Structure 1
């Protein structure tokens, strides 16, 4: 809640791209922490969940401003609505998918984190989520690099 309510202030100080990257890093660290500390008790899991949700709260403001800045003014209402819908639906769908995987013990047994039994299922799902967050970071970084390269090429072509 603190990061969510302060995300606008944080983003205004560090910038939108840095803020998005930092938010995704919080999410990644939260998932990895849960996977590694799954058998360490409630407090450890709760702290990792707080790190994860700090990232979730922090991502909303720069995400909304990125969407709004890329749309014409007359489309801003639809853009905000679609953003909110995507966030709400993805959380609901994610819970259903995770529950199905955990209910069938598809990922239970062993984990590279050392967890076994039912806790290995939670650890493995957390590792999958961490991998998705890491993929998001990689795409974000390379997209920025590729965008800068293509913009530089366009500028050079325009100058010729």
Structure 2
């Protein structure tokens, strides 16, 4: 009977060092999309907050006009409230401000934003919104009380 075993040479298989290098390369290639996804998530959550704030401003103006009552905004450390008439009443809406987003006074405080019973703005001016992904300018115009947010 013939012996089917052949001697093992040094060219068979891979060394430990080769396998560690391949493992390191694969690990780095896997981490790159994960890091990119985290920054994309932060940007999208900031964009979502800005869109939600703009929508809240417009709905507050419509609510003031429809119900013929004063509606105003109030900022706390971690959230902002939409209130009617008195500070002692329960807020209509409460929105959480994501970490890293700050309202900075320009010609108007965020707490000064409000709408009269005819839908006009209480005061005109601008508020800067600082975010990790850039800054925005919230503008309240005179007259009809138009409100918009633009990236600076």
In the superposition, the TM-score normalised over structure 2's length comes to 0.28
Q: TM-score, normalized by length of structure 1?
A: 0.26
Larger RCO: Structure 1 or Structure 2 (Cα < 8 Å, ≥ 6 residues apart)? 1
Between Structure 1 and Structure 2, the one with more helix by share is: 1
